[in-house]
Structure 1
């Protein structure tokens, strides 16, 4: 962190400035210990005393970057640039926020400005070159892209049928090309032993799930019988061994034990391939009793940064990575349980007249846009105060208790369930019981110390019951093992 703030230490210190500097010093210590929430609090106290201090703002921007509050990080960095156009660290922070939001041209402009002011800054030059490569690659991909008939993956990739299975392969096999319970049991055991599903069967599962998902609506209606149990899980984020623990605690999926997994199956955790094939396998085995919703991390930009693309390239091929991108575009965006509970990954909307019919009519076969209903379903977050607020993420919106109440009244819903945020106990009940968050990745990224949770309810009263659980051990592969170099750039570099 910036330490002296340009203060002449021999001169008498203004008591107000001294107080602010003390807050900054405390924040710096918290930051070094990775206590980012505490650091944020201290930087905010300093900024309340000096709202236009570029150093305080840039430091808080970096803290927001570490917390992945990219919208707030961008706002602080931009304010710092306006307050002091010569303070180059602010441009670094803003560039990192732009990168996280997929705004690579704007990031490049900031990196190039710093390079022009500091031509011998090797780190900035490297970041500018990396960003330039991305901008050129995106421009090239756009230039060569052509409209193609809307063929299924199986129609496009007919060559997969001719793949030979080596004699030495002893892993799980599809039966007549279909997923069976025996296959799923063998697949999960295979993954527990850190082995790999043969590429022919992996390709086949992707082709089969592609055909199925194309037929689904953007909002899926689910009927839960009165005496039946139903389970909702939140983010898994590539934590395969914790996914196995959920099934141990709550039972394997079956027609009598249905599940809904509410997005963010992949990225960050380094067993995302194992998670996604397990989930896709159960979807094919129990199509009417196992449900999957799209999260904000089931998208190309997130996958390229946070590890899923790198993991697929390491374990399989570029072709398979592209197939996942296509399949994710067809995942449903939300589910409605017994016409009483709406489940989506992110949250509610900046418009106050959105109906369930509006959600059913969303054209979802695309990468998530930066605004609109699809974006907000995947990215929005609740806030404690009434009304709408700017998104801390820079995408979507933040919505208050009054927004949730009005949406539920308009659509005759009891409450909503969403995921998307780490919670200490794995869940949180907010907005007078009408907004529930569930997060199912315990000790997120091996650092957060949170519990995971899942929700169970029955069709009769739809009352949510919560089960929290601790993380279980996993093989010695660290989270973010497959993340790209973009991730370190988004973290904002060193303070």
Structure 2
């Protein structure tokens, strides 16, 4: 990563000159959004001259752009150790803490920036927005303590919601999701219409009851010669979700699916994605599966757009109900006792069993550490052992960690998602750790392919189908994201 590559020797004049050249070259790559190349060059500059705060500050910014918030945090902190007056260091550190949900720490740094630049409008905006979040969270915490056991679901009064005659959209039949309803819903959404709030609330209430009845780890049996499909992150890219169904068929009793977390956020059609997926889960509860991702959480939804989208299309109450529902999403799935599927990855200790995963008490917001956190946040690394996460949450685990986990639990391999891959998928750890990512041209900028996995009950080897992004209506990604998140990387 570069942090450990610093030299203790004093840089020579040649080193100093070359480091500056690397920085200038890196800045050009950064400008053209080639952040990985920029990071590599900033790292070279740091190796030659580790005494310059701006090198760390710039690399921190590039890490922010690639969502390596853990690395960004380390670099921003290092830049401030080298130069306490380096104002951009405080900016970067605050920007790294925000998506990690560490709003109070971010606020402290924005306050420092404000004091250093009292006339800076941008600094004032960021401080004000961050302060607002801190106050809202404190208020919500106080309310939650007061209300204690009451749930949002209990307070929803469906009978009070009337459906006007002019509503011509999809309708539940006898309060149930049917195949016709799902087909109508997909067409309705394609035409950029909104499902009536009464039906939307009904789906959420029903899906909550269904998820509550399930364990944290679900066992799936795929019979011989029958197909099973695993999809990775969708991230609100509704038209790409429909393309998966075009390529692979609609979900059914004979065409089962598992969607492996991060259904929402970033893409601005997250509401359409989640109601489509929840609808299929209700229609085919034993043949359609959903795992929780790290973005099925209140903090992520607040920052990355889902909360804003639900409020814009429906209401704050529905946004709160989604949070309640997400708390009950299963955390992992085990297929034919041979493949474990989770959103993030493996663990900070070697003795974790499937039984222990099955017994996780999941009805809560994802914690900052422990099994639940690591299932949602961890990533593989090429080198052996474990390392702190580039994201600042979860861990990074090596091929030996994967091998030991599989051996202990008598599994063949793991499937996870959570990371953009150029081809939509990647095999690492001698093929024992498979990543699948199903949102092509992520955020309309990355240019990656999407992919999904198919396998059969008697041939558990993964087959990959890759596809390009399809056109979508002119609503840009992150359209509903928290304004602070939109501005803080500037």
Same fold judged by TM-score > 0.5?
Answer: yes
C-alpha contact 2:152 2:320 (8 A) present in aligned 1: no
**2:395 alignment counterpart:** 397
- For 1:483-494, what aligned pairs fall within 5 Å after superposition? 483-491=481-489, 493=490
C-alpha contact 1:100 1:490 (8 A) present in aligned 2: no
C-alpha contact 1:245 1:472 (8 A) present in aligned 2: yes
Shift of the alpha carbon at 1:489?
4.3
C-alpha contact 1:340 1:414 (8 A) present in aligned 2: yes
Q: Distance between the aligned counterparts of 2:107 and 2:421, measured in 1?
A: 35
Three-state SS of the structure 1 residue aligned to 2:85 is: coil
**1:7 alignment counterpart:** none
Q: 1:307 aligns with which of 290, 305, 308?
A: 305
Q: Distance between the aligned counterparts of 1:213 and 1:205, measured in 2?
A: 12
**1:45 alignment counterpart:** 44
C-alpha contact 1:386 1:403 (8 A) present in aligned 2: yes
Shift of the alpha carbon at 1:126?
2.5
Q: Distance between the aligned counterparts of 1:420 and 1:258, measured in 2?
A: 21
Q: Distance between the aligned counterparts of 1:230 and 1:57, measured in 2?
A: 46
C-alpha contact 1:96 1:489 (8 A) present in aligned 2: no
Q: Deviations over 1:296-325 (max 9, x none)?
A: 000011111111111111111111111101
Q: Deviations over 1:327-351 (max 9, x none)?
A: 0000000000011000000000111
Q: Deviations over 1:400-449 (max 9, x none)?
A: 00000000000000000000000111000110010000000011111111
- Give the TM-score of the pair, scaled to structure 2: 0.96
Q: Distance between the aligned counterparts of 2:410 and 2:367, measured in 1?
A: 28
**1:283 alignment counterpart:** 281
Q: Does 1:316 align with 2:314?
A: yes
C-alpha contact 1:153 1:207 (8 A) present in aligned 2: no
Ranges in structure 1 where 5+ consecutive residues have no aligned partner: 1-12
Q: Distance between the aligned counterparts of 2:53 and 2:197, measured in 1?
A: 52
Q: 1:380 aligns with which of 370, 378, 381?
A: 378
C-alpha contact 1:445 1:479 (8 A) present in aligned 2: yes
**1:90 alignment counterpart:** 89
Q: Distance between the aligned counterparts of 2:339 and 2:164, measured in 1?
A: 48
Q: Distance between the aligned counterparts of 1:356 and 1:321, measured in 2?
A: 32
C-alpha contact 2:126 2:484 (8 A) present in aligned 1: no
Shift of the alpha carbon at 1:138?
1.5
Q: Does 1:138 align with 2:137?
A: yes
Distance 1:218 1:147, change over 3 A: farther
**2:19 alignment counterpart:** 20
Distance 1:239 1:284, change over 3 A: same
Distance 1:311 1:81, change over 3 A: same
Three-state SS of the structure 1 residue aligned to 2:138 is: helix
Q: Does 1:73 align with 2:72?
A: yes
**1:471 alignment counterpart:** 469
- Give the TM-score of the pair, scaled to structure 1: 0.95
Q: Distance between the aligned counterparts of 1:166 and 1:182, measured in 2?
A: 21
C-alpha contact 2:153 2:321 (8 A) present in aligned 1: no
**2:334 alignment counterpart:** 336
C-alpha contact 1:52 1:79 (8 A) present in aligned 2: no
- For 1:360-371, what aligned pairs fall within 5 Å after superposition? 360-371=358-369
Shift of the alpha carbon at 1:487?
1.1
Q: Does 1:107 align with 2:106?
A: yes
C-alpha contact 1:152 1:210 (8 A) present in aligned 2: no
Q: Distance between the aligned counterparts of 1:146 and 1:360, measured in 2?
A: 29
Ranges in structure 2 where 5+ consecutive residues have no aligned partner: 1-11
**2:118 alignment counterpart:** 119
Q: Distance between the aligned counterparts of 1:207 and 1:361, measured in 2?
A: 24
Distance 1:250 1:163, change over 3 A: same
C-alpha contact 2:239 2:471 (8 A) present in aligned 1: yes
CA RMSD in angstroms comes to 1.3
C-alpha contact 1:65 1:490 (8 A) present in aligned 2: no
Q: Deviations over 1:331-389 (max 9, x none)?
A: 00000001100000000011111110110111111110111100000000000110101
Q: Distance between the aligned counterparts of 1:124 and 1:483, measured in 2?
A: 19
Three-state SS of the structure 1 residue aligned to 2:334 is: strand
Q: 2:260 aligns with which of 259, 262, 265?
A: 262
**2:221 alignment counterpart:** 223
Q: Distance between the aligned counterparts of 1:213 and 1:143, measured in 2?
A: 27
Q: Distance between the aligned counterparts of 1:177 and 1:152, measured in 2?
A: 22
Three-state SS of the structure 1 residue aligned to 2:111 is: helix
Distance 1:113 1:148, change over 3 A: closer
C-alpha contact 1:272 1:308 (8 A) present in aligned 2: yes
**2:437 alignment counterpart:** 439
Shift of the alpha carbon at 1:234?
0.2
Q: Distance between the aligned counterparts of 2:219 and 2:150, measured in 1?
A: 26
**1:419 alignment counterpart:** 417
C-alpha contact 1:153 1:210 (8 A) present in aligned 2: no
Q: Distance between the aligned counterparts of 1:115 and 1:478, measured in 2?
A: 31
Q: Distance between the aligned counterparts of 1:114 and 1:187, measured in 2?
A: 48
Shift of the alpha carbon at 1:87?
1.2
**2:5 alignment counterpart:** none
